[in-house]
């Protein structure tokens, strides 16, 4: 299949809206990461996404909307908490898991009776949905298991020949996928951390939000993931990454003692001049938002340098950094050394 690479301008948006209505898939930018879109009501179109990504069938997709009126038919009920969260964070990088409505294609939901809904703020997403009239299902636009793409060029590396169109809207603002919160059941539960933090969710809801066990640790054998995506090998670069949890001085001492010809560092911005091995930076120390913005591009940059042993600086675990830690421990296959 030939893949058209087009700027996300008026012409590109019109092309995408037409593909969506015709039951085709394509890649587009969002404020979080690039996604692959298909009409959420068209099961055949949605099935094409799974094929293009090589994604396991039991991992459900998020449905994207452009206004609250589009919830009708997609969810069977709009919980009170959805109104509070939508008022605070929509449009924006938040996905709410709600009771599933009759019009969502079964292929989106992997057999669950819930559906994840997000209203993105990216103007290209809003325009494509408005022009087509279609809510769309969209996972991140990477091959399954690889880091999510934050530039159109990264989408191209994974998806060239696998879909008819990639819209180029420049680098993504947030850089990690949306925060996912479940608002079915008695207590709201954070299923995936993102730009919208736990503290912000609790402030908007006025109640405690539980944190799903899979977020900061490996699931134990036999434990069931509430967010199916959490159980898969994820964000895995070719390099073997180990996170070193300690000060910069401890980190540098460890790297110096263990370095070989194939060692590289995934460090904070500015530290590259103080280390004697090849370095890729992933954002400023203590700045979770900056780290989130650069993490996935940095993981891909490590791959572009070839197979290596990588020592990563350890991000924080709360606020905006929780999303970074959550992605990085998966990229590191949960190898963390406390210095
Ligand atoms: O920022 C984002 O959310 C991006 C952009 C493209 O919008 N999309 C994205 O989709 O990250 P994906 O498919 O890569 O991740 C969806 C996550 C998975 O971990 C999945 O298991 C979870 O959301 N999820 C989706 N529907 C769910 C549901 N009904 N219940 C629990 N988890 C769900
Ligand atoms: Mg993904």
The whole-number mean pLDDT for each consecutive block of 10 residues of the chain, a chain of 339 residues, reads 97 98 98 98 98 92 98 97 98 98 96 97 98 98 95 98 98 98 97 98 98 85 67 74 97 97 96 96 98 97 90 96 96 94
The CA-based dihedral angle spanning residues 222, 56, 159, 108, taken in that order and rounded to the nearest 10 degrees:
-120
CB 137 within 8 A of CB 61: yes
Confidence (pLDDT) at 58: 87
Q: Which ligand is nearest to the CA of 229?
A: 1
pTM of the model: 0.96
Confidence (pLDDT) at 220: 73
Confidence (pLDDT) at 233: 59
CB 25 within 8 A of CB 19: yes
Confidence (pLDDT) at 228: 65
Render the burial of 249-269: b for 16+ CB within 10 Å, e for the rest: eebbebbeeebeeebbbbbbe
Within 6 A (CB) of ligand 1 lie: 30, 32-33, 35, 59-62, 93, 95, 97, 112, 114-116, 118, 138-140, 177-178, 180, 191-192, 227-230
Confidence (pLDDT) at 227: 67
The ligand 1 atom nearest the CA atom of 148: 14
């Amino acid at each position: 299949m030939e893949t058209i690479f087009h700027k996300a301008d008026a012409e590109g948006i019109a092309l995408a809206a037409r593909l969506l209505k015709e039951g085709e898939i394509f890649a587009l930018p969002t404020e979080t990461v690039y996604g692959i879109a298909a009409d959420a009501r068209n099961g055949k179109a949605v099935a094409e996404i799974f094929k293009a990504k090589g994604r396991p069938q039991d991992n459900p997709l998020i449905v994207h909307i452009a206004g609250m009126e589009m919830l009708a038919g997609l969810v069977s009920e709009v919980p009170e908490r959805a109104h509070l969260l939508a008022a605070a964070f929509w449009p924006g990088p938040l996905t709410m898991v709600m009771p599933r409505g009759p019009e969502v294609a079964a292929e989106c939901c992997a057999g669950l009776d819930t559906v994840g809904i997000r209203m993105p703020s990216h103007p290209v997403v809003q325009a494509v949905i408005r022009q087509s009239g279609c809510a769309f299902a969209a996972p991140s636009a990477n091959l399954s298991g690889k880091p999510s793409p934050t530039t159109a060029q990264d989408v191209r590396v994974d998806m060239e020949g696998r879909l008819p169109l990639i819209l180029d809207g420049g680098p993504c603002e947030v850089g990690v996928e949306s925060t996912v919160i479940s608002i079915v059941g008695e207590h709201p539960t954070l299923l995936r951390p993102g730009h919208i933090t736990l503290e912000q969710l609790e402030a908007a809801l006025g109640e405690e939000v539980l944190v799903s066990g899979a977020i900061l640790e490996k699931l134990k054998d036999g434990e069931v993931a509430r967010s199916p995506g959490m159980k898969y090998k994820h964000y895995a670069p070719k390099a073997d990454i180990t996170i070193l949890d300690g000060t910069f001085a401890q980190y540098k001492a460890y790297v110096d003692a263990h370095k070989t010809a194939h060692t590289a560092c995934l460090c904070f911005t500015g530290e590259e001049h103080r280390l004697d091995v090849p370095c890729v930076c992933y954002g400023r120390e203590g700045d979770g938002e900056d780290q989130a913005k650069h993490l996935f591009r940095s993981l891909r940059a490590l791959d572009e340098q070839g197979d290596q042993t990588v020592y990563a600086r350890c991000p924080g675990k709360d606020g905006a950094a929780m999303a970074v830690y959550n992605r990085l421990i998966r990229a590191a296959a949960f190898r963390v050394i406390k210095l």
